[in-house]
Structure 1
Amino acid sequence: MRASGPATTQPASPPRRLLAACAIAGLFGSPGIWLLQVIVSETLSASACYGISAPRAAPLWSGFDTWIFVIPVVALLLAASCAGLAWYGLILARRIAHEPDAHTQASAHRHEALRTPRQLRGDDLSRVRFIALCSAMVGTGFLVGVIFVWVAPWLVGPCGKWY
């Protein structure tokens, strides 16, 4: 009888590791970059544009306009690369699904004992494609968020009111 659990897991194949890296880039990279962009931009804006109780007419620092436009450009480049990796992971997942000998492993859980290896492979590939698709959608959605935060100071000015 085969034992199941962490003691019997084998190391993941290189395509699986690449898929995992692409999924992490889309699911956590783009949202993290967007969040960091918002935190840094809002902190700088609050420090440069607002006094203790009233807003200032002009930013406190002379290079503030440059920083408020450069930070989103860097965030845009990083978020675009994370979203691109996520989409590459989706393409890679589709390629793996069409390979006749994909590197999948079947675990030996009781409910899987009645399924054929082909059914187990199909279930595994469905999970991989689902995670890759979610990663691509999340990465792209937060890339759009980075673009909106980048465009906002142009629309309302660096020290303008947002509401």
Structure 2
Amino acid sequence: MIKIAVGLFGAPVAWITQLFLSEPLAAHACYPYRMPLTAPIWEGLPVILAIISIACFAVALLSGLVAWTSWRQSDAKSVGENRNRFLVKLSAMSSFIFIVAIIFNICVILLVPPCSSWF
């Protein structure tokens, strides 16, 4: 049951953690007061955001691996565990979706300048 919970909630929690840590840091670094800045107040902001993203990506991958192995093991078991098989398949799909979301957030860090204007 713990494998199902890790597979089901690990990647979404990693993605939410990435957003809850990265977005406020980036917003404060580029807009600390009422005036937007052209450069972040911390020089190492991209490195900090990259470290947060890599850590969350690693947690999501670990969660996805747990979900994948649980799914592979559930196919070999008896048919009587339909609820667990459904949850294991759901956790594998959920992990994949949130791993892709974390990868897209990593691409934003690599491709968009930290304090660029929106227009």
TM-score (norm: length of structure 1) = 0.68
1:77 to 58, 71, 81: 58
Contact 2:18 2:53 in 1 (8 A): yes
Contact 2:39 2:115 in 1 (8 A): yes
**Structure 1 76/162 Cα, relative in aligned 2: closer, same or farther at 3 Å?**
farther
Residue 103 of structure 1 aligns with which residue? none
Alignment partner of 1:44: what SS?
helix
Alignment partner of 2:38: what SS?
coil
Contact 1:68 1:158 in 2 (8 A): no
Residue 126 of structure 1 aligns with which residue? 82
CA deviation after TM superposition for structure 1 residue 68, in Å? 1.4
TM-score (norm: length of structure 2) = 0.90
**Structure 1 64/147 Cα, relative in aligned 2: closer, same or farther at 3 Å?**
same
**Structure 1 162/141 Cα, relative in aligned 2: closer, same or farther at 3 Å?**
farther
Mapped pair 1:65 → 2:21: no
Residue 146 of structure 1 aligns with which residue? 102
Give the share of equivalent positions with the same residue, in percent: 32
Mapped pair 1:35 → 2:16: yes
CA-atom RMSD in angstroms: 1.6
Which residue identity is paired with 1:28?
Answer: F
Structure with more of its chain in helix, by fraction: 2
Offset from partner CA, 1:53-112 (integer Å, 9 cap, x none): 232100101211210111101111111010110111101111223xxxxxxxxxxxxxxx
Residue 16 of structure 1 aligns with which residue? none
Larger radius of gyration: 1
- Unpaired runs of at least 5, structure 2: none
Contact 1:34 1:142 in 2 (8 A): yes
Q: Distance in 2 between matches of 1:161 and 1:126?
A: 51
The residue correspondences of 1:46-65 to structure 2 (distance < 5 A) are 46-65=27-46
